[in-house]
């Protein structure tokens, strides 16, 4: 007996039970969505077949009438969902249905707290998909045959103890799923209920969903039900509108319909935050329906993301595209673009360098930016919830998409010393409106954590003068800043890089005072330079510090120290440029050092001064043990 014929039991991948239990619990009050999920899968399978058949007509096997069928059996307490789409091979069944090894699953499960209420919120990130069948069924039997093959297979599971696989004898291609309903879910084995769910959730998907016509009794002349009538062959009828929602005029689509369609294409079970629906005519003709989800998808940070924009050509599904129709910094967008200009046989290669695609992409990016802009303007709270989910992704924008930099910059939100709160809700426009008389630049500091940014010694003079500084502590921030060098004609300036020139913000008195401190510190500077020659490029008097003894200053174009560290850990070779040490000669530690006559002792002081500045900057010490040793010796001396 070949492997394909034997009945075989297999285990689910780890944690599948946990996930199923969580899903059943989370979606219990919304359980009828199982039907939408399974119909959506069937519709996707038909889309894939239609696309593959463009180059290989034989895949249709004489049946090009693509559809999803829903049947029920009240007595057996079952609901069946059947499609004549692409189907699955045995290996595909194992890969897609028998496992939960979707990218990001592990991370998702690791976030679970065990608190059912909290975890229910999290499941929103995890597309529910096929497994939602187990919300209502205690056994699921799936039989499938891949288009273009002859072997079919039956998968069966109770959602608890793994699954079995067995060779089947399916005459036609596609997938049939029988849900053996739980006793308490009997209500779903009912034609009226099923039709109702289909028209709520699947009315506007671009594929007919069919059910058998309800038998209507025949009456005699007296109005009595005729008995002994020859039973008619059951007839199928389309029970949804199947009118591809994006092709409908906006005025005819309700918010509920937009939301249901979103759930269908995004495989999300929560409402979208906003959408933009466009019918474009002119040089190019296309329709687009673009959604901003409410919650970050699980794989938002994976290099290879699933789904994205569905590309259609004249209502024929071509492919799910994650790269060509939206830039990476908009990878959270879900939707449909349906072109009238592209050829039906458009290939992945063509997509990568095609003028029509480029123009549609450009216009779609503008649409999403416009959508976000008006959300920010009209509903700050909603925009804030968007920012909290997707802000870090949008921050990739200024560097990735220079042509829309200004518009993206207006959408950015920051923490700042204005409130010192971690919440990112300060706009660059807010900042500019609060700039001081004579202030020419927008100041920021970057650090590994929010606390490190907030407590950075570089902020001391800014705090003393009441000048606002943006506090940047997301990993992406250094990258964002490399693309965002100015806003509203004002340069963005790191407070930790380069020579600090506060320009008009320093009074003549300040400048005179600084000059005096500098003159007085000349010999101390000279001594320090000699001792620290190997470690620093220069030692100079700081105008940034008011209460710390020293700080590290980087060259204008150097990456922040904590970023350099990260890059090194990731295996990148980093050029080793030496930093500058700035000192505060009025600090008691420096005053004490100046009077030190023991050379060895002075060296230790200098070394500690440098090392602690490095630590405050998120850098790593070359010789941490040496630092501790010197510090201890010093403390003992002082005791």
Among 23, 35, 45, 553, binds ligand ATP (CB under 6 A): 45
DSSP, collapsed to helix, strand or coil, labels residue 321 as strand
User: Are the beta carbons of 364 and 290 closer than 8 angstroms?
Assistant: yes
Question: In the complex with ligand ATP, which residue's Cβ is closer, 175 or 202?
Answer: 175
Burial class (CB in 10 A: 0-12, 13-18, 19+), 48: middle
- Interface stretch with ligand ATP, choices 122-130, 184-192, 205-213, 241-249 (CB under 6 A): 122-130
Q: Which is nearer to ligand ATP, 165 or 411 (CB)?
A: 165
Interface with ligand ATP by CB under 6 A: which range of 41-49, 210-218, 240-248, 287-295?
41-49
The CA distance from 535 to 417, in Å, is: 32
97 is a contact residue toward ligand ATP (CB under 6 A): yes
Is 111 a known ligand-binding residue? no
Ligand-binding site membership of 88 (annotated): yes
Yes or no: say if 492 and 436 are a contact pair by the CB < 8 Å rule. Answer: no
Q: Near ligand ATP by CB under 6 A, which window of 125-133, 221-229, 326-334, 603-611?
A: 125-133
Decide: 87 and 146 in contact? Cβ < 8 Å.
Answer: yes
Give dist(CA 632, CA 366) in Å, integer.
60
125 is in an annotated binding site: yes
Contact between 383 and 374 under an 8 Å Cβ cutoff? The reply is no
Q: Does 320 bind ligand ATP (CB under 6 A)?
A: no
Among 84, 125, 152, 175, binds ligand ATP (CB under 6 A): 175
DSSP for 427-486, written as a single string: -HHHHHHTPPTT--SEEEEE-SSHHHHHT-GGGHHHHHHT--EEEE-STTHHHHHHH--E
Residue nearest to ligand ATP (CB): 127
Smallest distance from ligand ATP to CB 490, Å: 43
Which member of 130, 212, 385, 391 binds ligand ATP (CB under 6 A)?
130
Between 38 and 411, name the residue whose CB sits nearer to ligand ATP.
38
Is 270 in a helix, a strand, or coil? coil
Distance CA 314, CA 170 (A): 32
> Which residue is associated with the tokens 């710390």?
548
C-alpha 351/C-alpha 338 separation (Å) is 14
Q: What is the DSSP string of 557-594?
A: TPPPHHHHHHHHHTT--------EEEE-TTSHHHHHHH
Per the DSSP assignment, residues forming a β-bridge with 582 are 540, 551
- 619 lies in the binding site for ligand ATP (CB under 6 A): no
Indicate whether 289 belongs to the interface with ligand ATP (CB under 6 A): no
Please say which residue, 83 or 582, places its beta carbon nearer to ligand ATP.
Answer: 83
Distance CA(292)–CA(541), nearest Å, equals 50
Q: Is 384 annotated as a binding residue?
A: no
- Cα separation, 227 vs 229, in Å, equals 5
- Select the span of 16-24, 40-48, 221-229, 536-544 touching ligand ATP (CB under 6 A): 40-48
Nearest CB to ligand ATP, comparing residues 264 and 543: 264
Query: Does 494 carry a binding-site annotation?
Result: no
Instruction: Indicate which single residue of 69, 83, 321, 558 sits in contact with ligand ATP (rule: CB under 6 A).
Output: 83
Identify residues 448-477 at the interface with ligand ATP (CB under 6 A). none
Residue 236 DSSP symbol = E
Collapsing DSSP to helix, strand or coil, 421 comes out as coil
User: Is 135 among the residues that bind ligand ATP (CB under 6 A)?
Assistant: no
Q: Does 47 bind ligand ATP (CB under 6 A)?
A: no
The rounded distance, in Å, linking the Cα atoms of 384 and 294 is: 11
59 lies in the site for ligand ATP, by CB under 6 A: no
Cβ-based nearer residue to ligand ATP, 88 or 326: 88
From first CA to last CA, the distance across the chain in angstroms is 85
CB 81 within 8 A of CB 69: yes
Range in contact with ligand ATP (rule: CB under 6 A) among 38-46, 250-258, 319-327, 559-567:
38-46
Rule CB under 6 A: say whether 42 interacts with ligand ATP: yes
Residue 124 is a binding residue for ligand ATP (CB under 6 A): no
Residues 6+ apart with CB under 8 A from 560: 446, 447, 478, 496, 554, 617, 618
Is residue 295 at the binding interface for ligand ATP, with CB under 6 A as the rule? no
Residue 104 marked as a ligand binder: yes
Judged by CB under 6 A, does residue 618 bind ligand ATP? no
Q: Which is nearer to ligand ATP, 93 or 531 (CB)?
A: 93
User: Does 129 help bind ligand ATP (rule: CB under 6 A)?
Assistant: yes
Report if residue 33 touches ligand ATP, rule: CB under 6 A: no
Residue 69 assigned to a binding site = no
Q: Which residues contact 261 (CB under 8 A, 6 or more apart)?
A: 204, 205, 245, 246, 289
Contact between 301 and ligand ATP per CB under 6 A: no
Q: Using CB under 6 A, which of 72, 85, 308, 593 touches ligand ATP?
A: 85
Length of the chain, please?
639
Q: What 8-state DSSP symbol labels residue 330?
A: G
Phi, psi of 278, deg, nearest 5: -135, 135
Q: Is 335 in the site for ligand ATP (CB under 6 A)?
A: no
**Residues touching ligand ATP, count (CB under 6 A):** 16
Q: Are strands 442-446 and 469-472 parallel, antiparallel or unpaired?
A: parallel
Please indicate if the annotation marks 127 as binding a ligand: yes
Does 299 bind ligand ATP (CB under 6 A)? Our answer is no
15 binds ligand ATP (CB under 6 A): no
Q: Are 517 and 509 in contact (CB under 8 A)?
A: no
Site membership for ligand ATP, residue 127 (CB under 6 A): yes
H helix count then E strand count, the chain: 23, 22
Q: Which of 50, 267, 287, 405 binds ligand ATP (CB under 6 A)?
A: 267
Say which DSSP state 222 is in: T
CA distance 448 to 546: 23
Residue 496 Cβ vs ligand ATP, minimum distance, rounded to whole Å: 43
Does residue 152 belong to the site contacting ligand ATP (CB under 6 A)? no
Distance CA 323, CA 348 (A): 10
Told to check if 397 binds ligand ATP by CB under 6 A, we report: no
Q: How far is residue 284's CA from residue 25's CA, in Å, rounded to a whole number?
A: 47
Q: Is 390 annotated as a binding residue?
A: no
CB of 268 to ligand ATP, least distance (A): 8
Q: How far is the CB of 536 from ligand ATP (least distance, A)?
A: 53
Q: Which is nearer to ligand ATP, 268 or 468 (CB)?
A: 268
Residue 462 labelled as part of a binding site: no
| 96 contributes a contact to ligand ATP by CB under 6 A | yes
The annotation status of 129 as a binding-site residue, yes or no, is yes
Q: What is the contact surface with ligand ATP in residues (CB under 6 A)?
A: 41-42, 45, 83, 85-88, 96-97, 127-130, 175, 267
Binding residues: 37, 41, 83, 88, 102-104, 125-130, 175, 348
Binding residues for ATP: 37, 41, 83, 88, 102-104, 125-130, 175, 348
């Amino acid at each position: 007996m070949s492997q394909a014929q034997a009945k075989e039991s297999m285990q689910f991948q780890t944690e599948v039970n946990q996930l199923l239990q969580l899903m059943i619990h989370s979606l219990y009050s919304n359980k009828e969505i199982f039907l939408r999920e399974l119909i959506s899968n069937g519709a996707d399978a038909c889309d894939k077949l239609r696309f593959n058949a463009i180059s290989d007509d034989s895949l249709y096997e004489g049946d090009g009438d693509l559809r999803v069928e829903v049947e029920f059996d009240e007595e057996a307490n079952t609901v069946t969902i059947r499609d004549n789409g692409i189907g699955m091979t045995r290996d595909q069944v194992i890969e897609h249905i028998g496992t939960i090894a979707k990218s990001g699953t592990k991370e998702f499960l690791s976030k679970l707290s065990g608190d059912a209420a909290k975890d229910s919120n999290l499941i929103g990130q995890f597309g529910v998909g096929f497994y939602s069948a187990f919300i209502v069924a205690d056994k699921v039997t799936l039989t499938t045959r891949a288009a273009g093959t002859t072997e079919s297979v039956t998968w069966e599971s109770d959602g608890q103890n793994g699954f079995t696989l067995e060779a089947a004898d399916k005459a036609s291609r596609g997938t049939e799923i029988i849900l053996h309903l739980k006793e308490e879910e009997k209500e779903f084995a009912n034609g009226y209920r099923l039709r109702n769910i289909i028209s709520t959730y699947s009315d506007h998907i671009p594929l007919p969903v069919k059910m058998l016509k309800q038998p209507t009794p025949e009456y005699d002349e007296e109005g009595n039900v005729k008995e002994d009538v020859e039973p008619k062959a059951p007839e199928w009828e389309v029970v949804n509108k199947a009118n591809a929602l994006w092709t409908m005029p906006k005025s005819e689509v309700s918010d509920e319909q937009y939301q249901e369609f979103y759930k269908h294409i995004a495989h999300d079970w929560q409402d979208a935050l906003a959408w933009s629906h466009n019918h474009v005519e002119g040089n190019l003709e296309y329709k687009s329906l673009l959604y901003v989800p409410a919650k970050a998808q699980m794989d938002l940070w994976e290099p290879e993301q699933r789904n994205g924009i569905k590309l259609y050509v004249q209502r024929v599904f071509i492919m799910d595209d994650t790269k060509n129709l939206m830039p990476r910094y908009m990878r959270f967008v879900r939707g449909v673009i349906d072109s009238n200009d592209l050829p039906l046989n458009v290939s992945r290669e063509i997509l990568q360098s095609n003028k029509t695609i480029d123009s549609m992409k450009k216009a779609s990016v503008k649409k999403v930016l416009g959508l976000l802009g008006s959300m920010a303007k009209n509903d700050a709270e909603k925009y804030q919830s968007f920012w909290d989910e997707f802000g870090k992704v949008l921050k990739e924008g200024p560097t990735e998409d220079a042509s829309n930099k200004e518009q993206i910059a207006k959408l950015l939100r920051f923490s700042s010393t204005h409130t010192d709160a971690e919440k990112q809700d300060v706009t660059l426009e807010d900042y500019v409106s609060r700039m001081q008389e004579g202030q020419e630049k927008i100041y920021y500091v970057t650090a590994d954590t929010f606390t490190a940014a907030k407590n950075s010694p570089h902020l001391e003079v800014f705090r003393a003068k009441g000048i606002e500084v943006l506090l940047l502590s997301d990993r992406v921030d250094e990258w964002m800043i490399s693309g965002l060098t100015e806003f509203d004609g004002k340069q963005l300036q790191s407070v930790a890089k380069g020579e600090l020139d506060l320009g008009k913000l320093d009074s003549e008195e300040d400048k005179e005072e600084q000059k005096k401190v500098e003159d007085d510190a000349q010999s101390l500077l000279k001594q320090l330079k000699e001792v620290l020659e190997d470690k620093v490029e220069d030692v100079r008097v700081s105008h940034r510090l008011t209460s710390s003894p020293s700080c590290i200053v980087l060259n204008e174009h150097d990456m922040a120290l904590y970023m350099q560290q990260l890059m090194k850990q990731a295996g990148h070779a980093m050029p080793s440029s030496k930093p500058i040490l700035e000192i505060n000669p009025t600090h008691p530690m420096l005053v004490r050092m100046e009077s030190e006559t023991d050379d060895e002792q002075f060296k230790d002081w200098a070394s500690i001064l440098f090392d602690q500045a490095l630590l405050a900057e998120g850098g790593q010490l070359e010789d941490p043990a040496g630092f501790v040793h010197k510090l201890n010796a010093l403390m003992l001396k002082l005791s």
